[in-house]
C-alpha cells in the first residue's frame, strides 16, 4: 500500500473510533427526560437574561418567558448590558403589554477589567435576584419571597415553550441535577444556515458527547449557554460567576466549574427551546464561529496546528482520496470512500433533527473546510490584537493562572 493509501486508511480508522468510541456523539435522542411525578413543592426560580443590543429579537423571545406556565414562584431579571438600541425600554413595554411573570430591568454599567461582559451582566442579575431590586417592579407585582433556589440563565434570543421552565425544574428535581442545560434549536432558514448551523451542533456534540457530560465519573463537562437551569447552592459551591468571570466560552466554563465542585450536570437537545436570532449570510455565521474558536483552543498555536491537521485528516482526506484512482491508488479510494460513508451516516441524525434534506450530509467536508478557515481566521484576529470581539467589545487573553479549567 502506498502513502496515499495509508493516509486514507488513517482517516477511516479515525472515523471508526469516532463512531464507536466517542460517546455515540452522533445520536440525537438525548432529550430532556420527563419527570415521573411533579415535585412535592415547586422551588423558587429567578430567570436571568443578559441582553446587549437585543431589540431586534426581544419581541420574539421575551413574551415566551413572561408567559411561562410555572406552578411555583418565578420572576425575570433582564440585565441591559449597555445597549444603545432601546433594549431596556422595549423589555419594559413588552412586559406591560403581555403581563405574566414579574420583570425587572436593570443595568450593571461597564464591566471592570478581568470580566467578560456577559458574565458581568449575569453577576448583576443574580445579585438583584438574591438581594433586592423590588423597587423596579411595576405596581402590583411582588418579588420572590426569599432567595431563588434555581437560576435559569437564558439568552435574549431564546424563545421557550410555555412549559419550558416547568419541564426543566421537574427534570432537575427528579434527577437531582445541579445543572440542566438544553441546546436550543438554532434557526435554519437560509442556504448558509442549512450548510453551517446543523454542523455547528454536530461538531459541539463531537467535542462534548452529551452522554459523557452526564456521566459523574467522567471529566467531560459542557452546557449550552442559551438555556441553563442552575441550582443556586451549586453556583455558590462553584464560585459562579466570579470563578469564570473572564470566560468567553462561558457555558463550558460554567459546566466545568459546577462539575469540579461535585455537582451533577446534564446536557441535551431541545424540543421546544429555539433561538430566534437570524444568521442570514456567511458573514454573520463566520463571526459567530470565529469570535471564540481560538479561545476554544486556549490561544495555543500548537493546538491550532493540531486542529487544522485533524480537520484535514478526518474531514477532507475522505473525499480527496477518491482522486487517488487517477493516481493509481485504489486502496486510498476504497478507504477514503468508506470514511466518507461513515462520516455521512453520522451526520444524518443531526440533519433529521433540524428537518433538513439528507442530501446535505455528503457536503459535510465542505462545511468542515469552512470551519477550518474560520478557526484560522480567529487565530489571526487574536494575533492582530482584536481578540474575541462581540458587539463592540474585545476580550484579551486572560492570564494563564486565571483561566477557567
DSSP 157-184: TEEE-TTHHHHHHHHHHHHT-SEEEEEE
Per-residue pLDDT of 289-317, as tens digits, reads 998 899 899 899 999 999 999 999 999 99
Q: Which CATH number fits domain 45-279: 3.40.50.1100, 3.90.550.10, 3.30.1490.480, 3.30.420.40?
A: 3.90.550.10
What whole-number distance in Å separates Cα of residue 386 and Cα of residue 299? Answer: 13
The pLDDT of residue 139 is 41
Note if the bond before 211 is cis, omega within 30 degrees: no
Cβ-based neighbours of 127, under 8 Å, separated by 6 or more: none
The pLDDT of residue 34 is 84
pTM: 0.91
The pLDDT of residue 390 is 58
What whole-number distance in Å separates Cα of residue 82 and Cα of residue 109? Answer: 7
Q: How far is CA 157 from CA 38, 73, 132, 223, in A?
A: 29, 23, 26, 17
Cβ burial of 41 (10 Å; 0-12, 13-18, 19+) is: exposed
What whole-number distance in Å separates Cα of residue 286 and Cα of residue 301? Answer: 20
Residue with cell string 436550543 = 184
With a cut of 70, which residues of the chain have pLDDT below it? 1, 132-146, 326-327, 387-405
- Going from N- to C-terminal start, the domains of the chain cover 3-25+284-383, 45-279
Q: How far is CA 11 from CA 4, 133, 379, in A?
A: 11, 57, 26
The pLDDT of residue 279 is 94
**Count of C-beta atoms within a 10 Å radius of residue 271:** 14
The answer to whether the beta carbons of residues 349 and 27 sit under 8 Å apart is: yes
Nearest to 268 by CA among 219, 310, 218, 213: 213
The pLDDT of residue 385 is 75
The pLDDT of residue 272 is 92
The pLDDT of residue 322 is 86
Chain centroid to CA 160: 15
Amino acid at each position: 500500500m502506498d502513502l496515499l493509501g495509508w493516509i486514507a486508511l488513517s482517516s477511516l480508522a479515525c472515523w471508526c473510533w469516532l463512531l464507536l468510541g466517542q460517546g455515540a456523539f452522533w445520536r440525537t435522542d438525548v432529550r430532556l427526560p420527563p419527570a415521573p411525578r411533579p415535585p412535592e413543592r415547586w422551588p423558587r426560580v429567578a430567570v436571568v437574561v443578559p441582553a446587549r443590543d437585543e431589540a431586534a429579537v426581544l419581541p420574539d423571545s421575551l413574551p415566551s418567558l413572561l408567559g411561562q406556565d410555572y406552578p411555583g414562584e418565578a420572576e425575570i431579571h433582564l440585565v441591559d448590558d449597555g445597549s444603545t438600541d432601546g433594549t431596556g425600554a422595549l423589555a419594559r413595554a413588552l412586559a406591560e403589554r403581555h403581563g405574566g411573570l414579574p420583570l425587572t430591568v436593570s443595568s450593571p454599567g461597564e464591566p471592570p477589567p478581568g470580566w467578560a461582559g456577559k458574565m458581568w451582566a449575569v453577576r448583576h442579575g443574580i445579585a438583584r435576584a438574591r438581594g433586592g431590586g423590588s423597587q423596579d417592579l411595576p405596581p402590583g407585582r411582588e418579588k420572590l419571597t426569599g432567595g431563588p433556589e434555581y437560576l435559569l440563565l437564558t439568552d435574549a434570543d431564546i424563545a421557550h415553550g410555555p412549559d419550558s421552565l416547568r419541564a426543566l425544574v421537574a427534570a432537575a428535581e427528579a434527577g437531582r441535577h445541579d445543572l440542566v442545560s438544553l441546546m436550543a434549536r438554532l434557526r435554519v432558514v437560509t442556504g448558509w444556515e442549512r450548510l453551517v448551523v446543523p454542523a455547528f451542533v454536530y461538531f459541539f456534540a463531537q467535542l462534548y458527547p452529551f452522554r459523557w457530560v452526564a456521566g459523574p465519573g467522567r471529566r467531560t463537562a459542557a452546557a449550552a449557554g442559551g438555556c441553563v437551569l442552575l441550582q443556586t447552592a451549586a453556583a455558590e459551591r462553584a464560585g459562579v460567576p466570579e470563578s469564570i468571570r473572564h470566560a468567553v466560552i462561558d457555558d463550558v466554563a460554567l459546566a466545568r466549574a459546577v462539575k469540579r465542585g461535585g455537582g451533577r450536570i446534564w446536557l441535551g437537545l431541545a424540543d421546544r427551546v429555539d433561538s430566534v436570532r437570524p444568521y442570514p449570510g456567511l458573514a454573520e455565521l463566520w463571526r459567530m464561529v470565529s469570535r471564540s474558536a481560538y479561545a476554544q483552543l486556549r490561544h495555543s498555536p500548537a493546538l491550532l496546528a493540531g486542529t487544522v491537521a485533524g480537520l484535514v485528516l478526518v474531514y477532507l482526506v475522505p473525499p480527496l482520496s477518491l482522486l487517488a484512482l487517477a493516481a493509481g491508488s485504489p486502496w486510498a479510494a476504497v478507504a477514503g470512500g468508506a470514511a466518507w460513508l461513515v462520516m455521512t451516516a453520522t451526520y444524518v441524525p443531526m440533519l433529521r433533527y433540524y428537518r433538513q434534506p439528507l442530501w446535505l450530509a455528503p457536503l459535510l467536508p465542505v462545511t468542515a473546510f469552512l470551519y477550518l478557515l474560520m478557526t484560522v481566521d480567529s487565530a489571526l484576529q487574536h494575533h492582530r490584537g482584536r481578540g474575541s470581539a462581540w458587539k463592540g467589545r474585545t476580550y484579551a487573553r486572560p492570564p494563564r493562572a486565571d483561566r477557567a479549567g
